Structure 1
Amino acid sequence: MTENDRCAKVEQYIGEIKGGLRPAMKITVIGMVHSNPKSFAVTLLCDPVDANKDVGLLLTVNFSDKSITRNARIGGKWGREEKNIPYFPFTAGDTFKMELLCEHQQIRVLVDGRQFCDFTHRIQALNLVKALQITGDIKLTKVA
């Protein structure tokens, strides 16, 4: 067993959204939560190289307080956090499927096929959202 096998590896994924985000587009993330997770984040970025640029959606899953926070950053300023959730859908060691459905007014988030929450677009020019970033205590199986 190597040192890496004992330490939980933090997953880091970044992928281009060709042509930018647009209505009717669906992003699917399938993965497995680590056995002792702290958090993971799914981020829709305007610039995958410059992390200080605008963020269309930052969705942070926190296991310690079983919260899921959504926010966006426009012009270098973070907006108001949205925290209301109907239930906490993630379990340590379990697989999950998260779908981000881009609609005209919002991003609809489904977890394991169930409607979970909506996030109203704060960046009006959706095509400026050009990358998907996933980080944290999960092992990705598929991103499409």
Structure 2
Amino acid sequence: MTTIDNPTVPFTRPIPGHLLPGRKMVVKGAISPRSDRFSINLKCGSEDIAFHFNPRFGEQKIVRNSYISGKWGHEEISGGMPLVRGEHFEAQFECNEDNFSVELNGKHFCNYSYRIPIHKITHVNVDGDVTISQITFVDA
């Protein structure tokens, strides 16, 4: 298990080790009372984004997508908006054989099928109106 404590947003850090089926990334933080949006991105180097997780409070949806070779893919937006401005949250991203399983505050929110193989993911990035207290990588 590896933990990143109180990183300053925006930030980008290498993921310790590799993402493999069974491994989890747990993000704990607080959403600004006036937050419009924030994003948690799992990146492949400096350009491609394997998983873009983007709560948008003005639109009341959480967009999931990938950015590959300079182009955004198809947005997935089902599931509504279980996160609340001004509140703490915990987001868990579990690597499965063919998708990420996402839990928000202990409840299953969605699955997101891999569009880039997970072994190519090298960095985690967080940006926007959010404060992160901890990111933990839990081994399988």
Largest Rg, 1 or 2: 1
Q: Secondary structure at the match of 1:127?
A: helix
Higher share of residues assigned strand: 2
> Structure 2 unaligned runs (5+)?
1-7
Shift of residue 21, structure 1, vs aligned partner: 1.9
Query: Which of residues 36, 45, 50 is equivalent to 1:56?
Result: 50
Matched length:
129
CA displacement 1:18-52 (0-9 Å, x = unmatched): 333211110010001111111000100001xx3xx
Letter in 1 for 2:58: S
More displaced, 108-117 or 20-29? 20-29
Aligned CA RMSD, in angstroms, stands at: 1.4
The residue that corresponds to 1:128 in the other structure is 120
Distance in 1 (CA, whole Å) between partners of 2:17 and 2:116 is: 15
How many Å apart are 1:76 and its aligned residue?
2.4
Runs (5+) with no aligned partner, structure 1: 1-9
Which residue number corresponds to residue 31 of structure 1? 29
Distance 1:58 1:39 in 2: 12
Provide the TM-score with structure 1 as the length reference: 0.84
How many Å apart are 1:54 and its aligned residue?
1.6
SS at match of 1:11: coil
- Partner Cα separation in structure 1 for residue 11 and residue 25 of structure 2: 14
How do 1:38-49 and structure 2 match up within 5 A? 38-47=36-45
Residues of 2 paired with 1:22 and 1:77: CA distance? 25
Provide the identity percentage: 26
TM-score when scaled to structure 2?
0.86
